[in-house]
Structure 1
Amino acid sequence: MATWRNLLALTVLAVGTVPLIAVFPGQSVAARELVPDKAVMVMRHGIRAPLDGEVPAGTRTAAPWPAWSVAESVVTPHGERALEIVARADRQLLARRGLLDRAGCPKPGKVAITANTSPRAIASGEAYAHGVAQGCGLEVAHRAAGEVDPIFEPLRARATAFDASAAVADIERATGGMAALVKRDRAELALLDTVLGCGGDCLPPGAPAVAPGGDGHDIALSGQIRSASGIAQVLLLQYLEGMPADQVGWGRIDEKGLERLGRLHADLFTVFTRPPYMASHQASALGRRILDNLERGPDFEVLMGHDTNVTALAAALDVDLSASGYATNDVPPGGAILIERLHDRRTGERFVRVSYRTQPPAALRALRGDVSLTPLVLPACGTELCPYAAFVSALGGRLAPGAS
């Protein structure tokens, strides 16, 4: 049975179909009768082997990197199992909130899973489907192989009128420049150098820079931030995969050290998804899909994508993502943003609440069911319970228009 922590502390969860009786900050003594009627979860895929180039060519280490049991970028059996576990926990959470039945196959149209076209996203969707509705044959929807899905890869899909030069200018404003990021992260870069054990200057040389991509519809990041971010992620993946301690960073890093290095991986999103211009374009199609689902979609839909999708959505919502064991805005495998629509049975008023759902690193490593749910307070709303119209306006107003 999953252990849920950091649940909305003032919410009393009823059993079965009895509505939620909840008291929220600023509310009168008379409790609202809040009933969840829709939920959308935007999730990162499961634990995978390193991507091609994630450890850049020219990176120096004192010993060879440990081998993985699967090909590059593929979700591991351990990662699939972790997704099944968290899916069961999600099913029980939504059942306690009255949105889904506790067991059995969901009724047609109740639950949907949509994945990006990458094999790791599809495999993750299938593992999640097995966990959330075991033996029910719940299908994972996705586009054909080779197609680019604008929900998950909007820049590649040219889903918006993206201007790479405008993007670079906004990134520079938001971050203070790549040299400033390197200076800010000097301690973490030194720790990474120690873990690599090469004796100094382990990362490939090159000045940190961000520039328009070759096709003018993307950006290119180079230098220490780009190199260090991928390496930091590989070290975390080794730990989450359950590799022996002497293979996780060659035995030179522990969980707290990995959390520190997570700041280097989060730098990717400081550049690619969190600046206002990048967030508006990276979350454009995704945000509209969410708003559409809250109006007319299934009771519960999972959008299985990547950390860029989760962090872009967080930026569009103007929130940071913090969870125990991870650096701020470094979304772990299986980490997700849960968006719920609720209505008050007494008044008909509609609301939205948003949460960040993760599993602690040790739980992923040991395949335990511990799950953390952290409420997110949107600045546009000021409380955990956001009026529906305010949520729609806040998110919709931060999305770039679709390409004409």
Structure 2
Amino acid sequence: MRRVLAAFLAACGLAAPVGAQADIILDKVVIFSRHGVRPPTDQKALDPLSVDPWPTWPVPDGDLTPHGATAAILMGLHYRTLYAGPGFLEPGTCPAPGDLFAWADKAERTKATANAILSGIFPGCGLQAGFDPKAADALFHPVAAGVAPLDEEVAKAGVLEAMGGSLQAAKTRYAADFASLAQVLHGPDRETCAKEGLGKVCKLIDLPWGIDTDKSKGRDLSLKGPLQMASTVAEVIRLEYSGGLPEAQVGWGRVKNAGDVKTLLSLHKAQYDVTLRTPYIAKRNASQLLHQIAVALQQGTDLPGATEAGPPPSKLLLLVGHDTNIATMQATLGVSWTLSGYPENDTPPAGALIFERLRDTQTGDRYVRLVYTAQTMDQIRRLTPPSTGAMPERAVLALPGCAPAPVPETCRLSDFVQTVQSRIDPTALAPVSWR
């Protein structure tokens, strides 16, 4: 018997709505996951920001840690719980042709996370995700790849507007958050302070603020100075905590619990809000991914996008990239979530944006449910297996512009595609290599 909506909702920990139809089945799933726990991507750049030594990690900068791999396997087990069942992905077997396609960014941490998730969904099958070996993958990095270059003046104007009109406005706005960070981060070091003419002792917030638009041909825009640095420090401390480092090494022993980490992450959120989530920058970065996902969701239907070039058709499409990808898609779609223990729209390690396609077997109508899911910080730190009462958090998202559909918490597939296409930038698209 095919899985019905009520059983599907029960597996997700949700109550079946009144009038749930027994002929609504799960038809296709697209999972876009962030990579798992990693060390800093550039430890040398972090060193001058603290007078205390940073902890050491068991892998090179930026790579997936063994702890992160185990947590990603547990997320795969969570997906197995949700999606492996009669009529969709058969339990107890390796995927049949057409069941699965997995693709990752070329970075070690993204490839390794994809493979870990696959081993959780399909244990013992030895599955590995594909990837594009080019220096800048046009799917995950369209701006850097030159597919969607930024107009630097437009981008800079958007950043300044998001900051409140000026760099000084941002410095004032986030002063209290910097004060909280200073309770944990003792620094910068003397050399950094002296180099900026601030004496032997200074505060991170008092280093020069700026916006870097000096990259070639509009292929990057970033903040320079305190907010960018503070965002990175906060993210690294989150990774220390989630990654299971000893308590004495999490924020130099000055971060005691997940609540303390959440407080510091306010500066990480702020940096993303004023850069990646500004409408122009978000759309230039996210259009390529959202277009390909929309094409994938139309495969096997009579909608126009079904004939476009996209990823190989499959029941389950797993994509693994970065929190930057999820942040720009979130902003472009206009959706929002808040999971317990995290700031609004936070993107934890191995958290995922999921597109679930449902089908009415009587009418053939298809619907899309949009979900964000992630383990709590303590679930990642403790490597808690998904089980009753300890499932990863799950938020069903409402896509603005989608009309109410007969199936609760969904859009009609045609409405979903139309809404997504209305939000993306067609000049930011280019062919994608899936081989």
1:152 counterpart = 2:140 = yes
**1:171–1:390 Cα change, 3 Å:** farther
Is contact 1:212–1:218 with CA below 8 Å preserved after alignment? Answer: yes
Aligned residue type for 1:92: T
Q: 1:205-238: per-residue Cα shift (whole Å, max 9, x none)?
A: 5333324242133213112111100000111111
**Shift of residue 22 of structure 1?**
5.5
**What's 2:213 paired with?**
212
Segment drifting more, 364-373 vs 75-84? 364-373
Instruction: Give the TM-score of the pair, scaled to structure 1.
Output: 0.88
**What's 2:243 paired with?**
241
**Shift of residue 79 of structure 1?**
0.5
Aligned residue type for 2:399: L
**Greater relative contact order: 1 or 2 (C-alpha under 8 angstroms, separation 6 or more)?**
1
CA distance in 1, matches of 2:378, 2:78: 17
Q: 1:124-150: per-residue Cα shift (whole Å, max 9, x none)?
A: 112112211122132311012x43111
State the aligned residue count.
385
Aligned residue type for 2:240: Q
CA distance in 2, matches of 1:75, 1:98: 34
**1:217–1:192 Cα change, 3 Å:** same
CA distance in 2, matches of 1:64, 1:307: 27
**1:251–1:148 Cα change, 3 Å:** same
CA distance in 2, matches of 1:97, 1:180: 56
**What's 2:399 paired with?**
378
Aligned residue type for 1:251: G
**1:15–1:242 Cα change, 3 Å:** closer
**Shift of residue 33 of structure 1?**
3.0
**What's 2:327 paired with?**
311
Q: 1:300-335: per-residue Cα shift (whole Å, max 9, x none)?
A: 111100000111111121012321121122211101
Aligned residue type for 1:353: R
1:398 counterpart = 2:427 = no
Is contact 1:205–1:223 with CA below 8 Å preserved after alignment? Answer: no
Is contact 2:104–2:129 with CA below 8 Å preserved after alignment? Answer: yes
Please list every run of 5 or more consecutive structure 1 residues that lacks an aligned counterpart in the other structure: 1-10
1:270 counterpart = 2:264 = no
CA distance in 1, matches of 2:203, 2:116: 37
Is contact 1:359–1:371 with CA below 8 Å preserved after alignment? Answer: yes
**What's 2:60 paired with?**
71
Is contact 1:55–1:234 with CA below 8 Å preserved after alignment? Answer: no
Alpha-carbon RMSD: 2.5
Q: 1:61-87: per-residue Cα shift (whole Å, max 9, x none)?
A: 3x2111111111111000001111110
Select the structure of larger CA radius of gyration: 2
Match 2:77 to one of 88, 104, 107: 88
**1:310–1:365 Cα change, 3 Å:** same
Aligned residue type for 2:351: G
Identical columns (%): 34
CA distance in 2, matches of 1:309, 1:243: 27
Match 1:13 to one of 7, 22, 30: 7
**1:213–1:349 Cα change, 3 Å:** farther
CA distance in 1, matches of 2:234, 2:86: 37
Aligned residue type for 1:295: Q
Structure 2 counterparts to residues 317-396 of structure 1, below 5 A: 317-369=333-385, 370-381=391-402, 384-396=409-421
Aligned residue type for 2:395: T
Is contact 1:14–1:21 with CA below 8 Å preserved after alignment? Answer: no
CA distance in 2, matches of 1:333, 1:280: 23
**Shift of residue 98 of structure 1?**
5.4
Q: 1:164-206: per-residue Cα shift (whole Å, max 9, x none)?
A: 2212222323442444333332222111111023497442753
SS in 1 for 2:223: strand
Structure 2 counterparts to residues 114-263 of structure 1, below 5 A: 114-144=103-133, 146-177=134-165, 178-198=167-187, 201-203=202-204, 205-215=206-216, 216-254=218-256, 255-263=258-266
**Shift of residue 349 of structure 1?**
1.8
**What's 1:286 paired with?**
289
